[in-house]
């Protein structure tokens, strides 16, 4: 007991209670697997990529310092596919993200209605998310095959019956249709975001709707003036995560095109080019530089969105 008292006195002298010390140590110990993972699998690769982005490095032999060469090599368009891949990625982000938000939100609103069998519908719309990307891509390729795929068979069926045969779009085989086809595929995968919206919708207080109803607001006014403002934090969250996800878009286009981005680089996304630089051309330095450029781009875009968020994201309790 005397021991304990002296410990307490000493701790008090430093104004940290022994409980706090023990709790901190225990907390750190409990968190240590996560901390170790973070340092090993995130902090170290990020730092290593930063280091190698200034070096000529093939992954095995000693790295040779080359200054900013890897950055200028890409940015100056010495690999012309670089800007193509930037364009493809931005095109995809600009088209797929807003469409995805509207689509997922619409679905969530429908699935928030109080109708019979709602749990079944919710499950059905979430199911595609559970299919692994690789399997999904392979099914997609079959369905959208311009020659024998299900989609074109359906499109061509009626005109053929009427004696005016048409050819359906080339979908993934066409340089015009390839990216829109991917946008479609993205909509099919909206389940994840939909689920988050659904959770958000259920948090909108009923008394707001009641008040709006008393004031004579119709469904559109209730949606536009009550629902949407109340779930802007959720939209904001989904916007940021979708943005980061689309900038790193890799698995689906890689599997769809065997890593080639065909046709005519229409599906060559930024991460695929990064991967090609590293594993096909053995330019890990260039790939690291690309990774950092992407990181900076994602950072800048995120900061911009955060800045504008004050104007449209409503956290409740504020007066506008």
Is the Cβ–Cβ distance between 9 and 1 less than 8 Å? no
Indicate which single residue of 167, 213, 244, 299 sits in contact with other proteins (rule: CB under 8 A): 167
Instruction: Examine residue 132 and tell whether it contacts other proteins (CB under 8 A).
Output: no
Q: How far is the CB of 320 from other proteins (least distance, A)?
A: 50
Helix (H, G, I), strand (E, B) or coil at 55: strand
Bin 77: left if φ > 0, else alpha if -120 < ψ < 50, else beta. left
Shortest Å distance, C-beta 53 to other proteins: 18
Least Å from the CB of residue 59 to other proteins = 5
Long-range Cβ contacts of 311-320 (<8 Å, 24+ apart): 312/232, 313/232, 313/233, 313/235, 313/236, 314/229, 314/230, 314/232, 314/233, 315/233, 316/230
Task: Determine the Cα–Cα distance for residues 152 and 169; give it in Å rounded to an integer.
Answer: 7
CA distance 207 to 213: 10
Judged by CB under 8 A, the residue of 117, 132, 258, 317 near other proteins is: 258
112 binds other proteins (CB under 8 A): no
Among 20, 118, 123, 175, binds other proteins (CB under 8 A): 175
Q: Is 147 in the site for other proteins (CB under 8 A)?
A: yes
Give how far Cα 184 sits from Cα of 84, 92, 132, Å: 21, 11, 17
15 Ramachandran zone, left/alpha/beta (phi>0; psi -120 to 50): left
Task: In whole angstroms, give the CA distance from residue 7 to residue 27.
Answer: 21
Joined together, the tokens standing for residue 154 give 């359906």
Q: Which stretch binds other proteins (CB under 8 A): 110-118, 138-146, 231-239, 300-308?
A: 138-146
Q: Which of 36, 124, 199, 264 binds other proteins (CB under 8 A)?
A: 264
Stretch that binds other proteins, among 34-42, 55-63, 203-211, 215-223 (CB under 8 A): 55-63
40 binds other proteins (CB under 8 A): no
Q: Which of 30, 219, 224, 279 binds other proteins (CB under 8 A)?
A: 279
- Beta-carbon contacts of residue 230 (< 8 Å; ≥ 6 apart): 200, 203, 204, 205, 208, 314, 316
Smallest separation, CB 8 to other proteins (Å): 9
Choose the stretch contacting other proteins; rule: CB under 8 A; options: 77-85, 119-127, 217-225, 299-307.
Answer: 77-85
State how far the Cα of 261 lies from the Cα of 169, in Å rounded to an integer. Answer: 19
Smallest gap, in angstroms, from Cβ of residue 166 to other proteins?
6
Q: Does 60 bind other proteins (CB under 8 A)?
A: yes
Query: Applying CB under 8 A, does 11 fall inside the site for other proteins?
Result: no
For the chain, the distance separating the N- and C-terminal CA atoms, rounded to the nearest angstrom, is 59
22 touches other proteins by CB under 8 A: yes
Residue appearing with tokens 């958000």: 200
Residue 187 as a binder of other proteins (CB under 8 A): the answer is no
Is 302 a residue that touches other proteins (CB under 8 A)?
Answer: no
Q: Does 80 bind other proteins (CB under 8 A)?
A: yes
Q: Which parts of this chain interact with other proteins (CB under 8 A)?
A: 4, 22, 26, 58-61, 78-81, 137, 141, 145-148, 165-167, 170, 172-176, 255-260, 262-265, 276, 279-282
């Amino acid at each position: 007991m005397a021991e304990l008292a002296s410990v307490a006195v000493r701790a008090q002298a430093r104004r940290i209670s022994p409980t706090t010390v023990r709790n901190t140590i225990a907390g750190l110990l409990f968190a240590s697997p996560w901390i170790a993972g973070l340092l090993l699998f995130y902090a170290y690769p990020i730092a290593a990529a930063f280091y190698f982005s200034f070096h000529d490095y093939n992954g095995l032999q000693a790295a040779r310092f080359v200054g900013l060469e890897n950055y200028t090599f890409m940015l100056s368009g010495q690999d012309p596919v670089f800007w193509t891949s930037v364009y493809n990625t931005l095109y995809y982000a600009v088209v797929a993200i807003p469409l995805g938000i509207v689509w997922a939100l619409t679905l969530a609103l429908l699935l928030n209605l109080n109708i019979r069998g709602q749990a079944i519908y919710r499950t059905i719309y979430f199911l595609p998310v559970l299919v692994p990307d690789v399997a999904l891509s392979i099914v997609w390729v079959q369905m959208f095959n311009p020659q024998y795929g299900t989609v074109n068979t359906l499109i061509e069926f009626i005109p053929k019956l009427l004696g005016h045969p048409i050819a359906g779009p080339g979908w993934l085989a066409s340089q015009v249709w390839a990216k829109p086809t991917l946008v479609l595929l993205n909509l099919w995968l909206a389940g994840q975001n939909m689920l988050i919206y659904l959770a958000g919708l259920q948090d909108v207080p009923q008394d707001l709707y009641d008040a709006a109803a008393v004031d004579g607001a119709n469904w559109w006014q209730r949606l536009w003036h009550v629902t949407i403002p109340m779930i802007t934090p959720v939209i904001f969250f989904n916007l940021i995560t979708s943005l980061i996800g689309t900038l790193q878009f890799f698995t689906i286009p890689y599997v769809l095109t065997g890593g080639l981005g065909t046709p005519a680089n229409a599906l060559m996304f930024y991460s695929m080019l990064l991967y090609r630089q590293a594993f096909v051309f053995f330019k890990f330095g260039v790939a690291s530089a690309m990774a950092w450029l992407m990181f900076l781009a994602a950072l800048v875009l995120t900061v911009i969105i955060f800045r504008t968020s004050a104007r449209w994201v409503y956290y409740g309790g504020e007066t506008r």
